[in-house]
Amino acid sequence: MNNKPIRKIVIAGGGTAGWMAAAALGKLLGKRLDITLIESDEIATVGVGEATIPTMIFFHKLLQIDEKAFLKATNGTFKLGINFENWRDVNEDYLHAFGVTGKDCWAAGFQHFWLKGRDKGFSKEFGTYCLERRAAEDNKFQHLPNNGLNYAYHIDASAYAKFLRSFSEKFGVKRLEGKIDKVNTADDLSAINSLTMDNGEVIQGDLFIDCTGFRGLLIEQALHTGYEDWSHWLPCDRAIAVQTEALQAPIPYTRSIAQESGWQWRIPLQNRVGNGLVYCSKYMSDEQAKQFLLENIEGQTLNEPRVIRFRTGRRLKQWNKNCVALGLASGFLEPLESTSIHLIQQGIVRLLRMFPHQGIMQTDIDEYNKQTNFDVEKIRDFIILHYKVTNRKDSQFWRYCQNMTIPKSLAHRIQHFIETGRVFREGNELFDDSWQQVMIGQGLIPEQYHPIVDMMSDEELERFLGQIELNIERTLQGMPIHNAYLDHYCSN
């Protein structure tokens, strides 16, 4: 398609997406490439995005980022999962943890054993058999051998961008402060040629990475790539965010509290708490949201509450011509399962694997977009599940969610689970055990379990479940309180 070797990379935007891309390209390909990142002090970053999932650890390993340095720089805490409060119904909770629940056997997932135990009256709550969930509830944390405890982080997003900036600059990434005034394309829109800054300077590039946030300055405003709207499935379209002082030591999980027309987050950092309300503007005004949030937080606010508008969906192509969109420029699902930063790093790693050193090939573009679409659709379905499978009928918002049509792929997964108790991970999709945890957590109980479970006598099954619980309890006994461990870990 374009046999021009790719040497000069221009990253437009210096939020989390821009600096993650700069860090990875700088560290891994910096010797071959000339990389410039442009950011504007006049245009703020979105300023949220503080909960992550375990895949961030792999991204940092790839970049050889030291975990302690990262946690210190970002006031980070450990995260073992998300506590979903009032989602299944008002006053009912469950914790979606990063670990695996119980023990599968070759023929059947653990949920089948749990289901039979439940029928017989000796299974405890599903999460009882998950170490990460129990550690979160007990406010405990420790690195265990062989990655024995799955975890992620809560981080200060602005501090993370700064941390990655100094990391990237060590690998030769150049930073240019200023506002991009114009995106210069070929007449037939077959490529972006350069960016003109507001001081008239022209920045040439071979490959452009659009990290300009929701505005999608390059991918949308210049290349008119198009957007697929998913707001009929994910109807929340606003968020209001505010930071508060920390009144207690940080807990190792995010809180997601379903409210009348959306949900509220609490993200504990070492030095403060990130709070926000995600809501649907059809059922709640910005003023009502602000008032609600301020009445439902603890501690002094540290900044002015800020409304963020968004439209859930995805860019039709994340890679179009010589432009790759990452982060909010590529689309946004919504923050319920903290998956956006994960998608940024997936995009970066995918780009590294298909990097067009010798020129841009349409087959690479198509493959990149195909893989990205797969990832995003699976995560989309998983997020919709939380809204759709609920007993809440107490507001117009929840009645809408309960009655909305859902993607066929999700409808099939739910029906399959109800009828058989089975749930399968599709290809390389992100979530695995999470499907069982959230389906059961939201109140779905399958009609039957796998008959292989009947090969165990009732006594054997009771012993099997009891042994899993006992092993977890033994591990928990030796585990320190999260904050004590974090303090100690970061001070060494």
Binding site for ligand FAD (CB under 6 A): 13-18, 38-40, 43, 45-46, 48-52, 157, 179-180, 211-213, 215, 217, 239, 241, 276, 308, 310, 327-329, 335, 338, 340-341, 344
Nearer residue to ligand FAD within complex by CB, 43 or 349? 43
Smallest gap from Cβ 373 to ligand FAD, in A, equals 18
Rg from Cα positions in the chain? 23
d(CA 319, CA 288) in angstroms, rounded, equals 39
CB of 22 to ligand FAD, least distance (A): 11
Query: Judged by CB, which is closer to ligand FAD: 241, or 242?
Result: 241
Alpha carbon distances (Å) from 33 to 44, 262, 323, 349, 427: 28, 44, 16, 16, 33
Residue among 283 and 464 whose Cβ is closer to ligand FAD? 283
Measured distance CA(188)–CA(88) in Å, rounded: 51
Q: How far is the CB of 266 from ligand FAD (least distance, A)?
A: 11
Instruction: For residue 41, give the nearest of 201, 247, 198, 214 by alpha carbon.
Output: 198
Integer Cα distance of 56 and 338 in angstroms: 11
Burial bucket for residue 47 (CB in 10 Å: 0-12, 13-18, 19+): middle
Minimum CB separation of residue 54 from ligand FAD in Å reads 12
How far, in Å, CA of 255 to CA of 273, rounded? 11
Are the beta carbons of 356 and 29 closer than 8 angstroms?
no
Contact 133, 440 (CB under 8 A): no
For ligand FAD, the closer CB: 222 or 461: 222
Q: Which is nearer to ligand FAD, 137 or 220 (CB)?
A: 220
Q: Where are the beta strands (DSSP E) in 70-187?
A: 77-79, 81-85, 93-97, 152-154, 174-177, 180-185
Residue 384: other Cβ atoms inside 10 A: 23
Q: How far apart are CA 184 and CA 451, in angstroms?
A: 64
Nearest distance, CB of residue 41 and ligand FAD, angstroms: 7
Pick from 392, 438, 444: nearest CA to 421 = 444
Tell me, what amino acid is at 374? F
CB atoms within 10 A of CB 69: 12
Measured CA to CA, the distance from residue 240 to residue 304 in angstroms comes to 10
When the beta carbons of 109 and 335 are compared against ligand FAD, the nearer one is 335
CB closer to ligand FAD out of 343 and 453: 343
Please give the structure tokens belonging to residue 162: 């700064």
The distance of closest approach from Cβ of residue 270 to ligand FAD in the complex, given in angstroms and rounded to an integer, is 17
45 or 123, CB closer to ligand FAD?
A: 45
- Terminal alpha carbon distance of the chain: 52
Q: Which is closer to ligand FAD, CB of 80 or CB of 157? A: 157
**Which CB atom, from 15 or from 356, has the smaller least distance to ligand FAD?**
15
Task: Give CA torsion, residues 184, 188, 191, 197, to 10 deg.
Answer: 0
Query: Phi and psi of 24, rounded to 5°?
Result: -70, -45
Distance (Å) of CA 113 to CA 260, 432, 464: 36, 18, 9
Q: How far is the CB of 296 from ligand FAD (least distance, A)?
A: 16
Q: How far is the CB of 91 from ligand FAD (least distance, A)?
A: 25
Q: How far is the CB of 145 from ligand FAD (least distance, A)?
A: 28
Shortest Å, Cβ 165 to ligand FAD: 11
Nearer to ligand FAD, 212 or 390 (CB): 212
CB of 330 to ligand FAD, least distance (A): 8
* Of residues 99 and 327, the one with the C-beta less far from ligand FAD: 327
Least distance to ligand FAD, CB of residue 28, Å: 20
- For the CB of residue 58, give the shortest distance to ligand FAD in the complex, in Å: 15
Nearer to ligand FAD, 39 or 381 (CB): 39
Q: Is 82 helix (H, G, I), strand (E, B) or coil?
A: strand
**What gap in Å lies between CA 46 and CA 213, rounded to an integer?**
8
Rounded-to-integer distance, Cα 200 and Cα 181, Å = 8
Cα separation, 334 vs 114, whole angstroms? 32
Q: Rounded distance, CA 165 to CA 37, Å?
A: 10
